[in-house]
């Protein structure tokens, strides 16, 4: 299936924002080694996509709320069908269907952004000044040349950590500068990706459902770790998009979670407002079980002393006399 419609849509949004910043008066030439009009175009590509996907984000939060409200019932099913994994899965799927909850809804916004990410990746990868055919999904030759020369702190947005010497030469870039900047951005990308998942888990708590908890751990640890390797092939412009998207997500989640706090799952205990977010009860944030506590020693009964004013008791007086042999 051709993805040209995605590439054309991403190109149109980028060019529209670039033209808007150019019309406002943002310098199209390099300032501090950066073409700010193109950097802002990438940043506001994120804003455009997130505004379009905001209804999906609201559905994601509602689904997570529903999943959290079902945790007591899920725990009951786990106790009831302990050791019978197949029956447990069937019962939980029936519970989700009946309550109209979807455990995969939490990943939907990320999946919907994958085409945007791939589209931007494809467009920036084709920004090669040596190409004779510069017809890039509706771009003019001037726009193509401007974008292919766009830089951030002298590193081209089309460059990447794994760029070959020939690619760097065509882009007119310094290899050390590209690797240092790309490496820093990859680390920031990993950190912000981890923080977005951690923020949500700390607010909603670890899931009781093993399958859902596995998805949570994949989001928290697996995806950030994979970026350490895959980040080497991402153009710098794509990493800027990813980091901006993560920062937008952090702010959006913080606003929504503060405005609509998670439901309390155990209101009988003190500090119930945080009962659902304590990771120690469900394996901890890093999957560790809490350290076992030593059993308390039984208290030694105290012998009551004589009351004030009472005559002392002579224990020898009440002993039976020894029998004479």
The tens digit of pLDDT for each residue in 226-284 reads 999 999 999 999 999 999 999 999 998 888 778 767 665 554 443 443 444 344 444 44
Backbone phi and psi for residue 318, each to the nearest 5 degrees, phi listed first: -90, 0
Distance CA 89, CA 308 (A): 70
Positive or negative: CA dihedral 94, 97, 100, 106: positive
Task: Kindly report, residue by residue over 44-60, the tens digit of the pLDDT.
Answer: 999 999 999 888 887 77
Task: Kindly report, residue by residue over 80-122, the tens digit of the pLDDT.
Answer: 888 888 888 888 888 888 877 777 776 677 788 889 999 999 9
Q: What's 219's DSSP letter? A: I
Distance CA 162, CA 153 (A): 18
Please tell me the predicted confidence (pLDDT) of residue 275.
42
Q: Comparing C-alpha atoms, which of 235, 196, 241, 242 is closest to residue 216? A: 196
Residue 128 has pLDDT above 80, yes or no: yes
Residues 6+ apart with CB under 8 A from 89: 211
What integer best gives the mean pLDDT of the chain?
80
Residue 319 has pLDDT above 80, yes or no: no
Distance CA 23, CA 278 (A): 51
Residue 32 has pLDDT above 70, yes or no: yes
């Amino acid at each position: 299936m051709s993805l040209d419609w995605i590439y054309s849509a991403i190109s149109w949004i980028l060019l529209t924002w670039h033209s808007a910043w150019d019309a406002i008066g943002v310098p199209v030439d390099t300032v501090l080694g950066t073409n700010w009009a193109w950097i802002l175009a990438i940043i506001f590509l994120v804003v455009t996509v997130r505004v379009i996907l905001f209804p999906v984000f609201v559905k994601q939060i509602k689904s997570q709320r529903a999943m959290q409200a079902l945790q007591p019932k899920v725990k009951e099913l786990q106790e009831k069908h302990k050791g019978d994994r197949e029956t447990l899965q069937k019962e939980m799927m029936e519970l989700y269907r009946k309550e109209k909850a979807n455990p995969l809804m939490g990943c939907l916004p990320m999946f919907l952004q994958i085409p945007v990410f791939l589209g931007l990746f494809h467009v920036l990868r084709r920004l090669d000044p040596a190409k004779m055919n510069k017809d890039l999904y509706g771009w003019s030759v001037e726009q193509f040349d401007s974008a292919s020369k766009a830089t951030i702190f002298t590193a081209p947005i089309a460059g990447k950590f794994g760029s070959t010497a020939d690619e760097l030469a065509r882009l007119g870039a310094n290899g050390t500068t590209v690797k240092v900047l790309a490496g820093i951005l990859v680390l920031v990308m990993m950190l912000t990706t981890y923080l977005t998942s951690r923020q949500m888990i700390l607010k909603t708590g670890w899931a009781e459902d093993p399958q859902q908890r596995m998805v949570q751990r994949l989001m928290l640890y697996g995806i950030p770790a994979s970026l350490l390797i895959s980040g080497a092939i991402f153009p710098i412009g794509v990493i800027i998009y990813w980091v901006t998207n993560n920062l937008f997500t952090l702010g959006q989640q913080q606003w929504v979670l503060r405005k609509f706090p998670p439901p309390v799952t155990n209101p009988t205990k003190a500090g119930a407002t945080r009962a659902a977010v304590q990771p120690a009860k469900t394996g901890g944030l890093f999957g560790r079980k809490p350290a076992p506590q030593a059993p308390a020693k039984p208290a030694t009964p105290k012998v009551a002393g004589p009351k004030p004013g009472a005559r002392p008791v002579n224990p020898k007086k009440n002993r039976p006399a020894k029998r004479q042999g």
